[in-house]
Structure formats: structure tokens, C-alpha cells
Amino acid sequence: MALVRLQKFLAEAGVASRRAAEKLITDGHITVDGQAVRTLGTKIEPAQVEVAVDGKVVRTRRKVYVALHKPRGFLCTRSDPEERRTVLDLLPREWNNLFPVGRLDQDSEGLLFLTNDGSFSLRLTHPRYGVRKKYLAVVEGRIDESQLRRFTQGVEDAGELLKAERAILLASNNSHSSVELELAQGRNREVRRLFAALGHEVVQLRRTQIGPIRLGELPVGKWRILNPTEIKSLLPSET
């Protein structure tokens, strides 16, 4: 059996995303055959060793890929110290090992993936892959074509260049405007920051598409399993 990196094994076993698995390793939570391993890049032969997280043996699990229509008011996290509602509250209890792929802030809604496959999560969230996501934003005030061009040219905010790949004005009047944005960078609260940089507050934000997968008619708060064709479309060069 081929050797695999420890963090990849942890991610594929559903312990955490690849990045979170790396932190578990460097923080000393992982043992291999009873010996603590803190070195990133350590390779193991899964069938020949016992890997544990804080003493609990890791078992490989069937990979699960879920599309959820996240409602407003729910957090994109596995648990919350303040006991606020999280997206896992919307799923069956047996899926408590899933984790969100990327984020939607508490006040936003729309398409969100959850999985126990860390490689899948990395492929969809790391900036180097540039997976595009579409958003529908309703904002205060009138948006004009010159501002749409600013979005695609790039806007500086907090030392970062925020940029939309495409920006389409759907409707506009003196009180509110509706805009569809397509992004590839995945920066924190990027849509809201783009509009705020031009003096517009977002009053409603919905993610409508990730890669080729659309939110479609999936009701708010409901979920469905991604089919093999959809998973392959999101990972065209990955296994």
C-alpha cells in the first residue's frame, strides 16, 4: 500500500479539514502507534499503523458530500461555545463528523457544502484552485455601471485587493439594488466588504452557485446528497 501524508489521512478519515489536521499535528494531538507526531509531511501506511487523536483511534469512514441551503441565523461551524445554532443542527445526528466547506457568515444564506473529505474541502476553498462562486446581493442605495467596473477592477480594503470576476446589475432604484457577483478568491466576508468599500450596505446575501453546482430549488434549511457526477465535476483533476 502506498504511503500517504498524515494530514491527508486525517482529512480523508473525516477528522478535520486538511489545514485543521495540520494544526492538530503541530499542536501534538496526533499519535502514530502510540508515539506523538508533530512533523508535517510525515508519511504513514494506514493499514499498518494505528493513528489516534487525543487517544481516540481514527477509523476511515465512508465519504459523504452534502449540499445544504443554509438559512440566515446559523453558524458555519461544528460547534459553538455560546450554543448558538450551527449548520450541523440541520443534518441527521449520524453526520456529526461532517464539517462545512468554506464559510457563509451568520447573516447570509445559500449553497453550502458539508463533507468528511478533507481533500474535497481543500480543493474548493484554497485560493490556488480558484473555484468560482456566485452570489445574489440586495444592497442599500443605487448601484451604477461605474461601480460594477470597480468591482471587476478590484477594490482595496484592509490591505487586501478584493475583486469580482463578474458583476451584473439585475435591478436598481434610489433605495435598493440587486447585483449578481461571481468571485474566485474566497476572502473573508468578501462580498459585504466589496459593497461597503463603495458605501453600500448589504441587506440580503445569498450564495447561488459553487463551481458548476447551483442552489436551484433546494428549500431553505433543507439538504441533499451530491451525486457522483456532481462530485466529479467539482474535482475534475482530483481523485
Q: Which residues are catalytic?
A: 105
Rounded CA-CA distance 21/8 in Å is 8
User: Residue 108: which of 72, 68, 67, 69 has the closest Cα?
Assistant: 72
Rounded CA-CA distance 165/177 in Å is 19
Q: Scan for cell 448601484, then name that residue.
A: 143
Q: Are 24 and 15 in contact (CB under 8 A)?
A: yes
Rounded CA-CA distance 239/201 in Å is 41
The strand ranges marked E within 10-125 are 30-32, 35-36, 43-44, 51-53, 56-57, 65-70, 99-101, 109-115
34: left (phi over 0), alpha (psi -120 to 50) or beta: left
